[in-house]
Amino acid sequence: MSAIGNIPIPINEPILSYAPGSAERTVLQAAIKELGSTVTNIPVVVNGQEHHPDQTITVTSPQRHQHKLATVHQAPAALLQDAIDGATAAQQDWEQWAFADRAAVFMKAADLLCGPWRARMNAATLLGQGKTPHQAEIDAACELADFLRFNVHYAERLLHEQPISVPGVWNRLDYRPLEGFVYAITPFNFTAIGGNLPTAPAILGNVALWKPSTTAVLSNWLFYQILREAGLPPGVIQFVPGQSSTVTDVLLSDPRLAGIHFTGSTAVFHQLWTGVAQRLDQYRGYPRLVGETGGKDFILAHPSADVDALVTALLRGAFEYQGQKCSAASRCYIPRSLWPRVEEQMRAEMGRIKMGDPADFSVFVGAVIDKRAYQRLEQVLVAAKADPRVRIVAGGKCDAREGWFVEPTVLETTDPRHQIMSVEFFGPILSTYIYEDNQWDEVLTLVDSGSPYALTGAIFSQDRRAVIAADKRLRHAAGNYYVNDKCTGAVVGQQPFGGGRASGTNDKAGSILNLYRWVSARTIKETANPPKDWRYPYLG
């Protein structure tokens, strides 16, 4: 075909409501029933072939830990080596595809996801990762479709970015993919991130080995099937669930490692970076390391804040998806003059929040992801109860009889440097510090220096001077900064996401900035009429 096709300008996928009586509600309920009544057998997929190695892990539902959802086969070292060989071989062909053809695969994947696969993807995210219908919809359907469509659009813009030329000379940039493979390691908490980390590099002609999180593998496996149905050639993205240490050992030891696309905890990203640094001599190039990691995200209220808006932001920001969003509000700073009203409203509203199995659509808070998370959070609450500097304002109970349930909890401390204000717990626990109204300046310092992270943060104020002061003082305290809004819920194309300091490399998922990390540009200068005399005029 001789044509330069313009990529359609993407719009954010509309969010379905799942309100009583809606068609999507009925379809989702049926999908939950169907997926919930089978045990899915999840293979390793290398070069388009499904493999079923002997070693397996059983995946259960967070809200019903006796409910088996899937058996996932674990990739052994030899198969991982085949996956690297296959991916690097597949790249020879894939990187030569016209951009429009690669784009078509991912745009089709987005349409399949939003159409025939939507209910199954949401059901898998609800059953496997414990999301409510709304949380599953904004993640597994809308955000993932947005990642695919917007990244294709950004990639097209990136390819158009070209240097100037002068008469007789034509200059071009050839946006080559990285030479080698990308290791995509994805977290449990967003199906969309699972899909984004291997596909964003692939749009630009890279190949990836995708190691999904065991606790998100059901939805991730469904998405892998969507990619195949959309026409992704074998080998371009290898689906390699497996033990983290095995996969990491094999992949980091290969000289063809060209990049890591990671989202997860700060500690694991540190390990990966160290592992790469220790092997630096053996790589063909310098692997690109992109990691979005943890957070201790803040909400800061000025005495002029609108209390109703503040309380809503605290409730949604801290407790939606059980506080297991990297952007979740987990520390807040409230002026003493507002605290009595905030406390009263928080307690009243928290009394109305229903916790339980999200298959019951009246539930707002589900279970935390697994036993490990449950035990970690339980320990935090036990320690808080025994600590004279901490008061339990609301919540504080746990129940592991059926699922991994941790009650939404508000803690208050008199010590602004207490570890409940600085350590990421990754659960439905909001820590509060009450500051004196005349200590606005001091509280800005506390927010800025109170934790090693700098992912998201929000300020609530109706006083513009306070907004201006916070804007300046908190400039480096959050990569996603909100004024009079909750600190969660970034939308692709609208609020590019990522943070600095211990929160990662801030390469802004779902934006053109991220895509720049997956190209290695080649500059081409072509001269129409090259000089034929080596002497310059000044030589006389």
Binding interface with ligand NAD (CB under 6 A): 185-190, 193, 211, 213, 244-245, 248, 263-265, 268, 271-272, 292-295, 326, 424, 426, 455, 497-498, 503-504
The answer to whether the beta carbons of residues 139 and 216 sit under 8 Å apart is no
d(CA 462, CA 439): 17
Phi, psi torsion values for 444, nearest 5 degrees: -65, -40
Between 155 and 272, name the residue whose CB sits nearer to ligand NAD: 272
Other CB atoms within a 10 A radius of the CB of residue 36 amount to 17
Verify whether residue 292 is a known catalytic residue.
yes
CB of 378 to ligand NAD, least distance (A): 17
User: 65: Cβ–Cβ under 8 A, 6 or more apart, which residues?
Assistant: 371, 400, 402, 403, 404
Q: Please, are residues 119 and 34 in contact by the beta-carbon 8 Å criterion? A: no
Give me the catalytic one of 13, 137, 143, 292: 292
CB 209 → ligand NAD: shortest distance, Å?
Answer: 12
In the bound state with ligand NAD, the residue whose beta carbon lies nearer, of 178 and 192, is: 192
Phi, psi of 435 (to 5 degrees): -110, 160
DSSP 310: H
Measured in degrees and rounded to the nearest 5, phi and psi for residue 54 equal: -60, -40
Of residues 205 and 496, the one with the C-beta less far from ligand NAD: 496
Q: Is 161 annotated in the active site?
A: no
Smallest gap from Cβ 376 to ligand NAD, in A, equals 10
Task: Pick between residue 63 and residue 263 the one whose CB is nearest to ligand NAD.
Answer: 263
* Full DSSP string of 447-488: HHHSSSEESEEEEE-S-HHHHHHHHHHTTTT-SEEEESS-S-
- Identify which of 254, 202, 258 has the alpha carbon closest to the alpha carbon of residue 232: 202
Q: Which of 273/516 has CB closer to ligand NAD?
A: 273
Distance (Å, whole) CA 103 – CA 93: 15
Residue 122 or 263: which CB sits closer to ligand NAD?
263
CA atoms 510, 511, 512, 518: torsion sign: negative
Residue number with the smallest Cβ distance to ligand NAD: 264
Cα distances (angstroms) measured from residue 200 to each of 178, 212, 479, 495: 13, 15, 20, 17
Catalytic residue chosen out of the listed positions 142, 326, 398, 487: 326
The set of catalytic residues is: 292, 326
